[in-house]
Amino acid sequence: MIDVFVTSLQNLLTLHHLSYMMIGVAIGLVVGILPALGGIAGMSLLLPFVYGMEPTAAIAMMVGLLAVIPTSDTFSCILMGIPGSSASQATVLDGFPLARKGEAARALSASFSASMIGGLFGALCLTAIVIVARPLILSFTSAELFMLAIFGLSMVGVLSGSSLAKGVAACALGLAFGAIGTAPANGGERMTFDSLYLMSGLEITIIGLGIFALPEVLDLLRGQASISSTGKLGQGWLTGVRDTWREKWLTLRCATIGACVGLMPGLGGSVSDWISYGHTVQSAKDKSQFGKGDIRGVIGPEAANNSCAGGNLIPTLLFGIPGSGSMAIFLAAMILIGLQPGPGMADPKRDLDLTYTVVWTLALANVVGTAACIALSPSIARLTTIRFVLFAPFMILIIVFGAFQSTRSFEDILALLVIALTGIFLKRFGWPRPAFLIGFVLAGQVETYFYQAVQFYGYGFPLRPIAVAIALITIASLWFTSRSRQAPKEETVPGGITTDIDFEREEDETAAAKNLWPQVIFTAIAVGFFIFTIAEGAQNSFLDAVFPVSVGIVGLLTAAFVLFWQVRGATGRGPAGTVNFDLDDGASSGSLWRFVGWLVGFVIAIGLLGFTLALVGFFLAFLKVVARSSWLQAIILTAAAVGLVLVLTSILNMNLPGGLLQHYFYSQLAWPLR
């Protein structure tokens, strides 16, 4: 083994290897900073260039990119409230509120330091597990993976805010959205409305952008201020590092969670992200600031994200089973450069030296990427002090462009609009959006692993030893959460510690509204959707129907419970119970829907005029009418937006969506209007 280590170090420390690693880190920084692209888009960019490259150089570039993306995507999460990738959505919950308080520097430094620790921990785990990982991974069958997904759903109890019923209903809503498309068992269609687009289901990128990003952008537009409410960046660079050190045990626990989840093929960062966030909230004594700007809500998920990247490499390298979407492209790239993933990667007589080169490149790239992010932070963080009304159209552009990356069809943008409206109502009426998102993320795993477990092991699969162990951990987690909810409230707990948490309220928005009927209507629509889910699912075979019908029943019962108390409160026949009041007054509601109108208008313009012309019209009109910019400023910013889009489309080798104009007059139009 000593000679293997020496060979790996020699590969790692050559100028050739380090140069390609730095190229990968640089590309990863850019891809990570741009919202919604993530590892899949980054690896797709590299794939055409690695063909024919020397293996260690190609590996250096790819691992450099993969290592730094979970760190650099924090910029958009914290500074803009836009998830940088599907694996960084939980960071938005507390990172963005910290930026709005003027503590962007603290949040970024805590995130980067936690990411570096998580990345190094993941590399350490990969180093230790390479030899012994095979029996461990092979012991996890579909039965154990199903129970692990159920454990992830148990985090809903922590993420439900002040109303458990709304949390469960929101999670069921996410699971139901995840059931849209063809069933994994027998291919039955569910809630597709005969649409080819919906047959493949909704993309996680669109869900994340619609549920979190657009509602936050529109909410900020109502204030007409900068992202940072203080207009200052804060002086918290060292404070953030000290926060990570103070929470070192939380950092290591969440890094362990990320590495363990990464070991399981198909689960990946989007699952470890929420499990680690749920653990962070669950293990905290004072939960009062989660969702409002608690630094622990940044540290936990970021530590898990980077360690998950190391964990994902284990099934990818040793079994040829991609641990995530980006690892699937990494797998293809390995084959292109002549490497065969599998047990040979753990054989000292074959490619074990390359495996350790990957591991140590991952560790080194994490350190380099963290240093680069810290160096770039002061400049990038100043985005929070720009008048937001000038920045908002760029954010909307990036969100729409990111959504279009999903399948590169106009339906992506329409789906984004529908999901964004859903997210606005969830936020406005106090339905916990994290619960919705974790339901959607886990929907595919829950259903797929369930039918596979039934086929392979029968309905007694939960009695397998490892499955029983995971079930006991899940029960213990639910018991702990239940105990936390039953704890005394803030005024009776020593030290003023509160166990209550609400992700959807701001401190200055706690007054009850005069009218509950808008929420009653929204909840009634949710009840109707669950009935529709049950009816659609019941038309399929048993294996295709059991998931949507079960989800629909749970969602129907909990939503009906919420509706009952809302109707009682609205009619004055009783207290509103577990309802979160409509927190928007009339003026703010009007301004909110005005900006929703701008968004709808942009989407309609894309459908009529195509993306480029719609972009020019939207920017000029928005900057003149809303931002009250001069014509010179509006033209310069519009030109910058068009230039950004043209550069991205050229790099990604893609065509922008056309409208009716392009459909009927394509031959008469010149590039880039086609």
Mean pLDDT per 10-residue run, the chain (674 residues)? 73 84 86 65 68 81 84 78 70 83 83 86 76 64 80 67 79 91 84 87 82 78 61 65 87 86 66 80 80 85 82 73 66 76 69 79 86 79 71 85 82 92 88 81 83 84 86 79 56 38 44 65 93 91 87 92 82 50 42 86 90 92 90 93 87 78 68 61
Please check whether residue 674 lies inside any domain of the structure.
Answer: no
Tell whether 467 and 593 lie within a shared domain: no
Write down the pLDDT at residue 295. 87
Write down the pLDDT at residue 602. 93
Please check whether residue 77 lies inside any domain of the structure.
Answer: yes
Please check whether residue 148 lies inside any domain of the structure.
Answer: yes
Please check whether residue 546 lies inside any domain of the structure.
Answer: no
Which of residues 423, 454, 484 is at a domain's end? 484
Tell whether 240 and 120 lie within a shared domain: yes
Helix (H, G, I), strand (E, B) or coil at 189: strand
Tell whether 67 and 194 lie within a shared domain: yes
Cα–Cα distance for residue pair 463/449, rounded to 1 Å: 15
Please check whether residue 196 lies inside any domain of the structure.
Answer: yes
Please check whether residue 404 lies inside any domain of the structure.
Answer: yes
* Residue entry with tokens 């929101």: 170
Helix (H, G, I), strand (E, B) or coil at 182: strand
DSSP 438-460: HHHHHHHHHHHHHHHHHHHHGGG
User: What is the domain extent for residue 602?
Assistant: 586-668
* Residue entry with tokens 């909704």: 202
Which of residues 451, 484, 517 is at a domain's end? 484
Are 108 and 61 in contact by the 8 Å Cβ rule? The answer is: no
Q: How many domains does the chain have?
A: 2
Whole-structure pTM value: 0.69
Question: Within the chain, how many helices (H) and strands (E) appear?
Answer: 29, 2
Please check whether residue 293 lies inside any domain of the structure.
Answer: yes
In angstroms, what CA-CA distances link 609 with 13, 404, 618, 657, 674? 53, 16, 11, 10, 10
Write down the pLDDT at residue 162. 62
Per-residue exposure over 163-193, b if at least 16 CB sit within 10 Å of its own CB, e if not: bbbbbbbbbbbbbbbbbbbbbbbeebbbbbe
In angstroms, what CA-CA distances link 275 with 132, 151, 166, 349? 25, 8, 19, 38
Please check whether residue 237 lies inside any domain of the structure.
Answer: yes
Write down the pLDDT at residue 148. 76
| Structure tokens, 539 | 């038309």
Tell whether 339 and 476 lie within a shared domain: yes
Burial class (CB in 10 A: 0-12, 13-18, 19+), 628: exposed
Per-residue exposure over 320-359, b if at least 16 CB sit within 10 Å of its own CB, e if not: ebbbbbbbebbbebbeebebebeebbbeeeebbbbbbbbb
Q: CA 136, 270, 652: angle at the middle one, nearest 5? A: 115
What is the distance of C-alpha 21 from the center of its chain? 26
| Structure tokens, 629 | 């910019």
Tell whether 307 and 429 lie within a shared domain: yes
Q: CB-side exposure of 21: number of CA atoms within 13 Å?
A: 25
Write down the pLDDT at residue 511. 36
Which of residues 484, 515, 545 is at a domain's end? 484
At residue 190, φ and ψ (nearest 5 deg) are -135, 120
Tell whether 448 and 590 lie within a shared domain: no
Nearest to 672 by CA among 636, 635, 641: 641
Name the DSSP class of 290: T
Tell whether 363 and 473 lie within a shared domain: yes
